Structure 1
Amino acid sequence: MNPSQTGHAGLETIAEVDPDALLGWLDEIGIHPTGTVSAARVGTGQSNLTYLLSDEDGRRWVLRRPPLGHLLASAHDVAREAKILNALADTDVPVPKVYGVCTDENVSPVPLVVMEHVDAVVLDNLPAAEAIDIDTRRHITESMVDTLAKIHAVDIDEVGLSDLASHSPYAQRQLKRWGTQWEKSKTRELPALDALTRRLAASIPEQHETRLVHGDFHIRNVMIDPETGDVRAALDWELATLGDPLADIGSTLAYWPSSDEPARSAAPVELLDGFPSRDEIGAAYIARTGRDPKALEYWHALGLWKVAIICEGVVRRAMDNPSNRAAAGVPTVQMVDMLIEKATEVADRAGLAEPDSSAPGSDIAPGVRPVS
């Protein structure tokens, strides 16, 4: 491409990226765009930023980079995400192909990942979901459950992911990590969250296995074949780790709204006819995998707690740097409050204990007491 072409103006829309240097790096990894190249921010994701690259022949690629501004330690690691996708390339888990990871600071001050563009849809808007018939909508959820089961069946030693994260008890790790994230990103004090954190720490179920965990599995993080309803690709692996697989389905349930609750997103496609209820999804996963339904209630509560903390972090990043805002807007503190209220209801239903706040012991994380 001639550096004087206006296509470079499109590439300049990628935050902090030098367009000429990026095109040079793409050439080095075997991607040779034709004519003018455009770049457009896509998706409603509130964390890593995603761009669609297009050339004049209609070819497309996807570029990912971390959000702008100050990042918390270990967060938004796109190179780690690429490692996971590469490890899963020859498994039954549907993932996009990674073409390369750029760590050249002449191209970008932060790492970039370029991967294939999957010819499928993301149901992050109502028109896309409404265009799919009711029977296909139900199959989408069946395929999502099947995909999650495939993720949890991956042999982590065989694919080279046994060193991805600690093999120590997962719930304790999650409570420490997200409790710390809350302290670093909160915009105000929230006693209800602190109380729930203590209850979760006091009621951890026994962990029977250590598996690959996606960490953020919901309907907006999968790409769907609109004709068949099959999951063509599982996306956004930045929170993936090793741990209790029930945590994943717990997060899926946390993101899945019911008709009597405030929506989790600007486009609550899950409430359309044909999509099953949250309880049906949980039951389908348990039937598919044979895992413990009682422990799932705990992980549903923890999933809601974690999503609330993630939302608070998004609110904080948008306050610090408005360029991080996605087109669909950002969560509100009211949504965070609602998620904690719902998580407390789930904890009540699951019978999670309310520990004595004066009990001795050091904290797992700020405001978190260890299991007695």
Structure 2
Amino acid sequence: MTAPVDVERLTRWMQQNVAGFEGPLTLEQFKGGQSNPTYRVRTPARSYVLRRKPPGPLLKGAHAVEREARVMAALAKAGFPVPAVYGLCTDDGVIGSWFFVMDMVEGRIFWDASFSDVPREQRAAYMDAMNATLAALHRVDYTAIGLADYGRAGGYVSRQIARWSKQYLEDTLAGRHPAMDRLVEWLPQHLPAADDTAVTHGDFRADNMIFHPTEPRVLAVLDWELSTLGDPLADFAYNAMTFRMPPDILGGIAGIDLAAHGLPTEAQYVAAYCARTGRAGIPDLDFYVVFNMFRFAAILHGIRGRAARGTASSADAQAMGDRFARVADLAWQQAAAIEARGGR
């Protein structure tokens, strides 16, 4: 748990900034929330969700709740499934850090991409709904919804490699790992030629969306902290990476019998996305997977560092951080496979 929230101050702020709000309110912190602590705000009439920056010293540009609020409000205009945003607070004096309040969307959250909580014959439809939602995001005209300055067009992957490499190398408290060191050198030397630009989520996976209570339909996509204008192929590869991740990391489905579980193959999943976005294929998919494994390893490395500094927002931050080396090893195995095939 993070530092307690001053309920009286929060109540006053919501009375002044959230239309229709009526207290009293109570708070309940959601599980997870490795980066930005998230709470259910209950009132007698309805519930809201509050998402805040964690307390303590933060890396520059990290935990940008103001960006999350902005992109969600913009995407709502395009009809993309996101919760309604009711207000953003940039005054640390209210609860100790910046935060925003959004709608509480009721539905189902699945914690792994196997969708094992639904009958076998329905699982492919849930996977396809996730695929369709991401493809729809990448087709949004970001200029038309006021996000032309939400990031830089082009060069996304190279900038990301530089950013996460720098954070990894500078966070000495979290330690080093040989596979990660190799990736820091290997990735810039193997950049793909494709360099498209779209609104990218950055953490698009099953547990970051709310599905309809009974139907294979996405009602809301959550957790936009890593969103930007970026490479849609990198964004898709992060989502498709679930086919190569073990079940205990990001709820991956590597190693399970996909047909027996009623799930599509990676090739089928890729083909569905390509059909929706007008692509013939993704020749550099393997590179994009390596990149995303590297980026995720760097994020885990950062969590490990926050745990060492005592600023982690989740009780299981230490366990998450310990997975850093495993993910880095997986990424290097993928890179080595590209090299063995004579790839770039």
Structure-1-length-normalised TM-score = 0.82
**Aligned pair 1:347/2:332, yes or no?**
no
For 1:1-372, what aligned pairs fall within 5 Å after superposition?
15-31=3-19, 36-57=24-45, 59-124=46-111, 129-185=115-171, 187-257=174-244, 261=246, 263-265=248-250, 273-289=261-277, 290=279, 292-321=281-310, 324-326=313-315, 330-333=319-322, 335-351=323-339
CA distance in 2, matches of 1:16, 1:226: 31
- 1:291 deviation in Å? 5.5
CA distance in 2, matches of 1:332, 1:116: 31
Give per-residue Cα distances to partners, 1:122-163, cap 9 Å, x unaligned: 11279x954422233221110111111111111111011110
CA distance in 2, matches of 1:54, 1:251: 34
- 1:278 deviation in Å? 4.0
- 8 Å Cα contact 1:120/1:225 also seen in 2: yes
- 1:32 deviation in Å? 5.1
Question: Would the alpha carbon gap of residues 153 and 318 (structure 1) be closer, same or farther in structure 2, given more than 3 Å must change?
Answer: same
CA distance in 2, matches of 1:208, 1:328: 34
Paired residue type of 1:144: M
CA distance in 2, matches of 1:49, 1:174: 24
Paired residue type of 1:151: L
CA distance in 2, matches of 1:74, 1:352: 37
CA distance in 2, matches of 1:269, 1:32: 43
SS at structure 1 position matched to 2:153: coil
- 1:269 deviation in Å? 7.8
- 8 Å Cα contact 2:233/2:288 also seen in 1: yes
CA distance in 1, matches of 2:331, 2:312: 30
- 8 Å Cα contact 1:308/1:336 also seen in 2: yes
CA distance in 2, matches of 1:34, 1:283: 48
Structure 2 unaligned blocks of 5 or more:
none
- 8 Å Cα contact 2:116/2:123 also seen in 1: no
SS at structure 1 position matched to 2:210: strand
CA distance in 1, matches of 2:332, 2:271: 21
CA distance in 1, matches of 2:298, 2:180: 9
Structure 1 unaligned blocks of 5 or more:
1-12, 355-370
- 1:243 deviation in Å? 1.7
- 1:329 deviation in Å? 7.0
- 8 Å Cα contact 1:45/1:326 also seen in 2: no
Aligned residues: 338
Q: Which moved more, 1:67-76 or 1:271-280?
A: 271-280
> In structure 2, what is the equivalent of residue 364 of structure 1?
none
SS at structure 2 position matched to 1:236: coil
CA distance in 2, matches of 1:207, 1:352: 22
Give per-residue Cα distances to partners, 1:203-249, cap 9 Å, x unaligned: 10113421111111111111111311111111111101112100101
CA distance in 1, matches of 2:165, 2:312: 26
SS at structure 2 position matched to 1:136: helix
Question: Would the alpha carbon gap of residues 91 and 35 (structure 1) be closer, same or farther in structure 2, given more than 3 Å must change?
Answer: closer
CA distance in 1, matches of 2:21, 2:141: 37
- 8 Å Cα contact 1:203/1:352 also seen in 2: no
Give per-residue Cα distances to partners, 1:189-211, cap 9 Å, x unaligned: 21211212211100101134211
- 8 Å Cα contact 1:215/1:248 also seen in 2: yes
CA distance in 2, matches of 1:55, 1:86: 23
Q: Which moved more, 1:274-283 or 1:300-309?
A: 274-283
Q: Aligned-residue CA RMSD in angstroms? A: 2.8
- 8 Å Cα contact 1:65/1:78 also seen in 2: yes
**Which structure has the bigger radius of gyration?**
1
Paired residue type of 1:172: S
Structure-2-length-normalised TM-score = 0.88
CA distance in 1, matches of 2:13, 2:2: 15
- 8 Å Cα contact 1:85/1:95 also seen in 2: yes
- 1:294 deviation in Å? 1.3
- 8 Å Cα contact 1:47/1:76 also seen in 2: yes
Question: Would the alpha carbon gap of residues 321 and 168 (structure 1) be closer, same or farther in structure 2, given more than 3 Å must change?
Answer: same
